[in-house]
Every structure is written in C-alpha cells, then in structure tokens.
Amino acid sequence: MRLLLFAAPLLVSAVIPPPLPVHLNQLGFEPGDAKVAIVHGSDVPLAWKLVDASGKTVLEGRATLYGDDPASGGKYIQRVDFSAYRGTGKGYRLIVAGSESERFDIRPGIYKPLATDALAFFYHQRAGVPIEARFVGEKWARPAGHATELAKCFTGKDDRGIEWPACGYGINVRGGWYDAGDHGKYVVNGGITLWTLLNAYERRPDAFPDKSLKIPEAGNGASDLLDEARYEMEWMLRMQLPDGQKVRVPVGPFKPLAPGQNPWTATPADFAEINAGGMALQKVADRNWTKLPMPPQDDPEERLLYPPTTAATLNLAAVAAQCARLWKGIDDAFAARCLSAAQRAWAAALRNPEVLATNSFTGSGGYGDRDVSDEFYWAAAELLVTTGEDQYAQAVQRSRHFRDDVREPAWPSTASLGTLLLATRPALLPAAEVKRLQASVIAAADRFLTDAQGNGYAVPYIAKDYPWGSNSSVLNRAMILATAHDLTGNAKYRAGVIAALDYVLGRNPMNVSYVSGYGALSMQHPHHRFWAPSLDPKLPGPPPGALSGGPNSTNMSDAIAAKMKGQCAPQTCWADNIHAYALNEVAINWNAPLFWVAAWADSEKP
C-alpha cells in the first residue's frame, strides 16, 4: 500500500506539462505599436500581466483564445494583446499563467540598430577586398576572397551530360557580394537585392547619410547606403558582355516534361549562335561545391563564368536604370554609365527573349527561370521612370503583369517590383491606371492581413506551407504592407508590418529570433562557409543582423531537414544547424527586405 501511495504523486507529476514559453518579439516594441504575444494554454483564456524591470505590474488582462493551429502544430493557441501600454523602459516581462517571456524593451528607435546591422551584412559579404577590423572588429576581419577574378566560361559537360562549347572570352569580374553561404555571385539574385536597397534609398534618401555606416567609402560625401549598393552595381556592370559578342547557348523554351518529371530538371532548348552583346552573364562561381568550412580566401576551386541569360540581362536593365536616376546629381558620369548599360541590356533582351537559365551546373545555385515576362515588365517600369520614354510606357502597358494581382516579390517573380514603383510615381501613367495599380497594392496588403487572422501566430503569411527562404517571403510581404501604409496612412498596415518583424524576432513556435544577435534566443549557426565556429572554433559566428532563411516545409533537401520531413508543422520545420542549408542559410536577397522593413519601421513612427 505504501508503494502505491508513493507512486501516485510521481504519476501525477509526470503528466503535468512544463510551463510553455511566451512567444514575442524579443527585441521589443515602439511605444505606439501593436504589441502581441502568443502562448499555448488551455481552452480558457489565460490571465496575464506586464511587469517592468522592477517587477511592478503596469498592465494586466486576459488572453484571447484562437484555438488549434495547423501552421504551428499548436493546441489552444492564445493571443495576448498589450498594445494599450504606451510607457517606455527596458527589461519588461510578460507573465502569462506563471510563464515568463524573455526580457524586452519598449522605447522609440528600437529598429534603428537592426536596420544598420542588417545593412552591414553586405559589407561582410563583399568579395575582392579585405574585410577590415577597423570596420567589423578583429573577430570578423578576414583577407580578401577572390581578390583577382579573371574567369573563363564553363566549357564541357554539365551535370546532365550536355556539352557546352567554348565561348572564347574571359572577363575580370572582381567585387560584388557573395550571394549566400557559398562563394557564388549571381546576377539574378543580385538584381532583386540591389533593387530593394536602392528602393529604400529612393524612399528616404537621408536615412543613411555619409559616415553613418562603418565601410571604407564613409567620408566620400555620398550616402553610405548608395556606397554599399554601388559595390554590387559595379560588379553587375562587369558581368555585361561587350557589343558584338557571339555565343552558342540554348535558345527557346524548355523541352516538354516527361510524365512526373521535376520542372527543375527540364531539358533546355537546342543550342544556337546569338549576338549576345549587352547581355549579362548568369553568374560567376566555383566549378565544384567547396566543403564546410571554407573561408573565401582559401577557396581552391576554379572560378568560372556561366552563360548569359535573358533573366540576368533584364535584372541588369532594371537596376542599372534605377542606378541612373539615383546617382544623377551625385556622380553624373556613373549615372550615365548605368543608363547606357540599362539601355544596351534592354535591347539585348528584346533581341534574345528566350535564353533561359538551366539548373545544370554543380558548384553553384542554378536560379533557373522558365518565364521572364515578369522581368521584362519590371525592367520596362524602371526604364520608364528613369527616362520617361514612350517605348517603355508601351512595354509596361502591353504586359499581362500590368493587370496582375500584386504578390510578394522573389527572384523568380519580380513583377510586383514594377507595380510598387509605378504605383508611387503618379505622373508617368494615366491617372486611372495609377489609381488601379495603387488599389492592387492595397488589395494585396488586405489579403496578407486576412492571412494573419488565419494562423495562430498572426503572421501575415499563408498558413499551409512554408517555402525555402520563408522568412524573406514574410518580409517581402511586409514591404507591400508598408507601401499600403504609405499610400493610405491606415494604421492597420503598419500593424501588419510589425507582425512580420515580431515573427522573425521571436514570435514564432520555435521561440527563436531568426536574426543573429537580436533577442535572448537568436540564430547562431547559419549554413555559411566562414561563420562556422561549430566546425572550426577559430572561425566566428555570424555578426549581428544576419537573417536565417527560416522554416521550410516544401523542399527539405539537406540531411538535417530530411529527417524532419513529415514530422513537423510548417512553422516548425527549422533547425539552427550549419549543415541545414535548406532551413538555415543566409542570403543577400533575404537580408535586403529585413533591412528595408526595419528601416521603414524606424522612419515611419506609429
């Protein structure tokens, strides 16, 4: 009997669940912003209280029951809204049914350091120059990677056995940013990244003045944001082929897929010789993937240029046109050089509209794209805004994307970049068309807010599946929400922007800040070849401000993700592991919207 009496309390204690964490933005909040936390509790709304650093209760109430949440796999999701508190201070805690959040601040200017560090990421990713301790500290300083880069084109058989002929040229393509955790540099991904940084400058030119960043160009009299962007722009200009250059490449649509064939493995069209003058090369990268870890200065692989594509050419046309108008009056010679490059690229793309990228080469990302109509629309919009010429207005208005619904942009779907630009330049198109474009942006923002109500964590994103780089998808949606706020002044759109930031900074079922160095529990082990202390303790971890790609429930291709396949809800398919490239890589086109959104949140006060 005594054994039974003794066993009973142990049995009861074994089934009592541990206190669940309080999920919220671990950085904190602007005083006037929406402030929402998520907890998993019971089917009865839980009592909560907000306490300051001294432990004094400053606000209390009861949570709102949401219910079960397939996106996060959570039961009895409850939302705690403490937006009514407008005080300021450091070290606040939210206590819900005995569970405490991490400490956080409520103060003005909370997003400014995040914007600065997210932008500093790009200096860390520079190729061709040493990353200097005077700018980043001894921990992250390193010698130049690929200091000289006179590369020749890929020749021979690719992964599928397709024979690529010699091109007969070599080009010095030094500089630019490493794309992600590898050593590749890609024009397509560089395009959307560069556009995002330049768009942030165009929206608020005074936000990052000279000497506001720790970069070599500080003190030259120009905006440091423009200086950082120019480093990539100069590289993209080097990737443009000279007039009259002939190459043999696949021309035309991909061949029909076999039943059940993955579109990424589609067979390209037959080879033909083209006049590729003015086209942009797709990428420069290693012949083979390098092992982990591998600081760029130690890279032993042969560097190769990969064939020009229409998509890369139109990316160059778009951002070079953007460059031409933004540097005008700052460096007129550079602005003229950019405009010439943009016009040459546009003409080359019209001449070669179906030179499509393939995913056929090992050692680098493919960035294959079978539809470049969106890039044509985007490039035409940028050239129209820069030049005002009717040919570009006609190209814009003939495009099907001119009347498409707005969606979050990504490197393979750039049409929304053109619409976001045209919707904020009312003098360039008929007033009725501008009004329609603006309504399309606002309608997209409203859809995103509806999506936020359809998942327990109130993320302005779809609830069903999360793709590769999902955190950037969430933040690219936030850019559209921010633009809707700019157009309407409606506070609900700012609240949507803040919800996106809340999610990546800790209000997620992983209870982690996906931004390194921000929050009590932040990402530490990205898939990266030189931020790799888990593999080599002499190497540093990520600097503050690097964004993890985030949950990926649709393409779980690495060994870490493969073990999770079918075992995780979409928002929980993530691991902080250097080998988890499908879940935890960093990339320039992911950090760019983090910077844009953080800079917007700082500049547009609630």
Catalytic residues: 182, 527, 576, 585
Tokens of 434: 């501008």
Contact yes or no for 496/441 (Cβ under 8 A): no
Query: What is the Cα–Cα distance from 474 to 40, expressed in whole angstroms?
Result: 23
Residue 305: in which H helix or E strand, if any? strand 303-309
- Residue 56 CB coordination number (10 Å): 9
Query: What is the Cα–Cα distance from 379 to 399, expressed in whole angstroms?
Result: 11
Edge to edge, the sheet with strand 280-286 lists 170-172, 150-153, 303-309, 280-286, 185-186
For tokens 């050593």, the residue is: 183
185 forms bridges with which residues in the sheet?
284
Q: Computed from CA positions of residues 62, 66, 68, 73, in that sequence, does the dihedral angle turn out positive or negative?
A: negative
Question: 205 exposed, middle or buried (CB, 10 Å; 0-12, 13-18, 19+)?
Answer: middle
Query: What is the Cα–Cα distance from 168 to 233, expressed in whole angstroms?
Result: 25
Contact yes or no for 421/361 (Cβ under 8 A): no
Contact yes or no for 125/50 (Cβ under 8 A): no
Query: What is the Cα–Cα distance from 435 to 161, expressed in whole angstroms?
Result: 51
CA-based nearest residue to 330, from 233, 446, 426, 414: 233
| 293 cis-preceded (ω within 30 degrees of 0) | yes
Query: How many distinct helices (H) and strands (E) make up the chain?
Result: 16, 18
**What are the b/e assignments for 298-336, b being 16+ CB within 10 Å?**
ebeeebbbbbbbbbbbbbbbbbbbbbbbbbeeebeebbe
3-state DSSP of 212-223: CCCCCCCCCCCC
Q: What DSSP assignment string belongs to 113-159?
A: HHHHHHHHHHHHTBSSS-B-HHHH-TTT-BPPSSSS-EEEE--EE-T
Say whether 402 sits in a helix, a strand or coil: helix
CA 461, distance to chain mean position in Å, is 15
CA-based nearest residue to 204, from 225, 219, 174: 225
Question: 397 exposed, middle or buried (CB, 10 Å; 0-12, 13-18, 19+)?
Answer: middle
Residue 43, CA distances (Å) to 22, 24, 76, 586 in order: 17, 20, 6, 38
3-state DSSP of 39-103: EECCCCCCEEEEECCCCCEEEEEECEEEEEECCCCEEEEEEEECCCCCCCEEEEEEEECCEECCC
Query: What is the Cα–Cα distance from 164 to 478, expressed in whole angstroms?
Result: 42
Pairing of strands 150-153, 303-309: parallel
